[in-house]
Copies of this chain bind each other. A is one copy, B any other.
């Protein structure tokens, strides 16, 4: 069970990593909490591993890994909300954090979008789209598809006649997938654009 003490240890592990880009040694955890015996911390770590919160590489130093499924990585504070009509004061609220971006991008690749076929979905020429390859594709998802050796970013729709790839731009025509080699490479997951 995740006790208060162990919650604080998890918290320390996250903060330490965010500051130092590495995890602490057992003795460093000890001194942070004022625990005099390394075994005091070591048993916490083993319990946290047993319960799936972390994983440990035995015999290796600083070899802790936070389990991303069980933990929300606190990396970037989410600062208030920018509004056009109803502005809100910028306040960092505890617990408001953006999920670990590295984690969000893991197991994916990045595609650079060229063309304006998805402009109405807010995806512009030059934007970067992270694509998750291990995802089941549902109706209306934005997907990256391979069609006869060509790659396109489109919104996918399934109906009785088959698969249709819809652009989000009236100037472009939908593609009805009939023959030839077709495969969905992955599902568009995140949009990243450099603004400056």
Chain A residues near B (Cβ < 8 Å):
17, 21-23, 25, 61-63, 65, 75-90, 92, 98, 101-102, 105, 108-118, 122-124, 127-132, 135, 141-142, 144, 146, 149-153, 167, 169, 172, 185, 187-196
Contacts and interface: CB of A to CB of B under 8 A. Distances in A.
A131 B77 CA distance: 11
B110 A196 contact: no
Contacts of A114: 81-84, 86, 88
Given A82-B114, A82-B151, 10 more contacts: A61-B61, A76-B108, A78-B112, A82-B112, A83-B114, A85-B115, A90-B151, A135-B196, A191-B191, A192-B192
A195 B190 contact: yes
Contacts of A21: 17, 65
B192 A188 contact: no
A195 B185 contact: no
B192 A187 contact: no
A132 B195 CA distance: 11
Contacts of A150: 87
Contacts of A90: 146, 151, 185
A189 B185 contact: no
